[in-house]
Amino acid sequence: MDYYYNLHNKLRVHLRQNRSDLATNYGHYWRWANSDTPPPQPNYLVREYAEFQPPADYFKVGGGHGFPGGVYFPNERYALTFEQERITEYTTYANRATNLYSQLLLVPQGISLVHAAGLSLYDKGIIFPAAGGVGKTTLISQLKDLPGFSFFGDDFVMLDRSGVMSAYPSDLSIYHYHLPMMPELKDTVYHRYLIGRVWLDKLTRIFTNHRLRYYVRRGLSKLIGIIVGWINLQSAPVWHQDYVKVPIEQVIQKGQVGHQTKLAAAVFLQRHSGSDFKVTTLSPSRLASMIDAILNIEFRYGRVYVDKLAIVSNIDVIGRLNQQRQILESGLSGIPLYQIDIPASAPTQTYAAFMKDFIQQKILSNNESR
């Protein structure tokens, strides 16, 4: 079965599966960009590992095998090639390197991913870069009902050199503490699963061995999912986490998903141990450096493959990643840039009220055009 995804005609994906359920996991990244027709000249191909034909001539490279233009790891049943501006993955699962591979294809086009929540209010684009766990999803849940709201992503967005933000609204990662903020999920399979995980956590506290506790929770999660018929066997691995992947249409209305907009401001978010909200201004180079550092953390799962690919490919994959900072600095120039330190103890409503007031006073009331 063939699946097609087209992200602004910059990332053109063709996924083909036969026996493996690849689309279930890869769909988390690209579901919203699903297309019924093949995109022109796809530059990201996903294939089952069974389709990979190991070359007769290869050499050892860091626990795997290398050959011109690619690497493969028989023990992982995984292979990767990068030739003529096209990446091909041969796999049995999505290995969390997908965003890094997307970045390798986007950077030569003058575009970088940004680990951020992205939205627009009255056509004024705003990104909120942050490390994981700071509160990007929480912020979106509190702003999505504002007049003039459009959603661009709560995990990643795309930003080009001219400061145009493009949507990259992958599925939402929802934890149990998000449920009170998202009444749209009440009585859904996601709500039931997360409540079940809360009870499982309480039940498995009797196991003092953390490794044993992990496997008991993992097994019970799968068993409960199968027994109550919430999920089938093929998609069960998706549900072994402390969170669920929720399609954006479950929370964001279809008409509220944006496409592209000019960036009007960027607000870097981080938590701190104090009791006050602190606002400072940033330079484009400083914010680009901070975003660059977070991207390197987010891309860490794929570096083991990319570093080996750099040895065998005639494409300067490392150099491409070094370009992302230049793109970011260019895209962030000429607009207000802020950093907000959020008290770690701040209740959701306090956090939301502060951010709404800040956006109104510092961004929406700013009539300066870029």
Q: Is the pLDDT of residue 367 over 50?
A: no
Query: Which residues touch 10 (CB under 8 Å, ≥6 apart)?
Result: 105, 106, 109, 111, 158, 166
pLDDT-derived band at 209, boundaries 50, 70, 90: confident
Residues 211 and 213: their CA atoms lie apart, in Å, by 5
- Alpha carbons 269 and 320: distance in angstroms, whole number: 26
- Residues 6 or more apart whose CB falls under 8 angstroms from that of 323 comprise 107, 108
pLDDT in tens, 272-325: 999 999 999 999 999 999 999 999 999 998 888 988 888 888 778 788 888 999
Q: List pLDDT tens digits, range 7-56.
A: 999 999 999 998 878 888 898 999 999 999 999 999 999 999 999 999 88
Sorting pLDDT into bands at 50, 70 and 90, what band is 240?
Answer: low
283: left (phi over 0), alpha (psi -120 to 50) or beta: beta
> Which SS3 state, helix, strand or coil, does residue 200 take?
helix
Residue 20 or residue 93, greater confidence? 93
pLDDT at residue 2 is higher than 50: yes
Per-residue pLDDT at 366 = 67
Spatial CB neighbours of 313, under 8 Å, sequence gap ≥ 6: 68, 69, 70, 82, 83
> Can you tell me the mean pLDDT for 222-226?
64
Tell me the H-state helices in the chain: 22-30, 98-106, 136-143, 189-203, 210-227, 284-298, 300-312, 317-332, 348-358
Q: Please tell me the predicted confidence (pLDDT) of residue 19.
A: 81
Model confidence pLDDT, tens digit, residues 53-83: 998 888 888 889 999 889 999 999 999 999 8
β-strand partners of 64: 61
pTM comes to: 0.89
Determine the pLDDT at residue 235.
44
Q: Label residue 237 by pLDDT band (50, 70, 90).
A: very low
For residue range 114-163, list pLDDT tens digits in order: 999 999 999 999 999 999 889 999 999 999 999 999 999 999 999 999 99
Supply the pLDDT for residue 234.
41
pLDDT of residue 229: 54
Tell me what pLDDT residue 369 has.
41
- How far the first Cα of the chain sits from its last, in Å, is 45
pLDDT of residue 238: 47
The full set of domain ranges for the chain reads: 2-108, 176-246
pLDDT digit string (tens) for 156-206? 999 999 999 999 999 988 888 899 999 999 988 888 878 877 877 777 777
Return the biggest CA–CA distance within the chain.
Answer: 64
Cβ pair 112, 287 in contact under 8 A? no
Mean pLDDT, the chain, whole residue set: 89
